[in-house]
Amino acid sequence: MGIIEKMRLDGKKAFVTGGARGIGKSIAYALAEAGADVAIVDIDLAESEKTAGQIARDTGRKCIAVSADVTDKEQVDRMIETILKEFGRIDAAFCNAGICINAPAEDMTFEQWKKVIDINLTGVFLTAQAAGKVMIKQGGGSIINTASMSAHIVNVPQPQCAYNASKAGVIQLTKSLAVEWAMKGVRVNCISPGYIGTDLTLNSPTLKPLIEKWNEMSPLHRLGKPEELQAIAVYLAGDASSFTTGSDFVVDGAFTCI
């Protein structure tokens, strides 16, 4: 099998959490374009259904919408049951749902801290754990977690200690799961994006004033685009990355190099 064939995902079944918009939507599109059937998982079911319908029409792949709060184990388990009922198996899981709350550490409330950690770290664990159980039973699969360049640096000027800590935890969780499940056929990797120009970022009144500062600091002097994360996700989801596990792929336009 040639490299082009290995990069195809024909016949594979995948899900993407936080898949209704932004990075998740872009990755879901890429997986479907590469041949996979995809479940769009999001707490916003209406938007998830809209995205699933759009991807199905554009790619011809089966695409379903599933509502789930990734911090709730029962909802995650039901999500997995729904996907298995529709698809029969899970070959790739993109654990992407996340939030960021900017607040000075001395002013951050416990509720703010807990919300970020619950969604960004505990949510990744619960979805990866649930997918991992299925993949171990079926004989293999690939889990891809969304970390961040914020796991490697302290972002400025915005204060976001909870976000940075949660994403550092995602990387170590990824490595730990990769080692535990290596001999069980389940590969676990993560992607650490830099500043990405999603609709949320570009239209947020709190973030828009920071973009000029970020671009000034970046070696490429621009934000990344969601589609610039697609190739690495497709690679990790498929057979081309069969020897790749426990790795963190930083896609940040060299921001962490400075």
Burial of 106 (0-12, 13-18, 19+ CB in 10 A): exposed
Instruction: Report the alpha-carbon angle 155-210-213, nearest 5.
Output: 80
Range 14-20 average pLDDT? 98
pLDDT given at position 193: 98
**Residue written as tokens 């992607």?**
191
Contact 162, 98 (CB under 8 A): no
**DSSP letter string over 127-191?**
HHHHHHHHHHHHT-EEEEEE--GGGTS--SSS--HHHHHHHHHHHHHHHHHHHHHGGGTEEEEEE
Q: In the CATH scheme, what architecture does the domain 3-198+226-250 have?
A: 3-Layer(aba) Sandwich (3.40)
User: What confidence tens digit (pLDDT) does each residue in 69-87 have?
Assistant: 999 999 999 999 999 999 9
pLDDT given at position 232: 98
User: What confidence tens digit (pLDDT) does each residue in 122-159 have?
Assistant: 999 999 999 999 999 999 999 999 999 999 999 999 99
Q: Is the predicted pLDDT of residue 1 greater than 80, yes or no?
A: no
CA atoms within 13 Å, Cβ hemisphere of 70? 32
Q: Is the predicted pLDDT of residue 230 greater than 90, yes or no?
A: yes
**pTM beyond cutoff 0.85:** yes
pLDDT bucket at 199, cuts 50 / 70 / 90 = confident
Catalytic residues: 148, 163, 167
If you average pLDDT over every residue of the chain, what do you get?
96
- Phi and psi torsions of 42, nearest 5°: -160, 155
Q: Is the predicted pLDDT of residue 200 greater than 80, yes or no?
A: no
Any idea where the domains of the chain sit in the sequence?
A: 3-198+226-250
The beta strand positions in the chain, using DSSP E, are 13-17, 37-42, 63-67, 92-95, 141-146, 186-193, 248-251
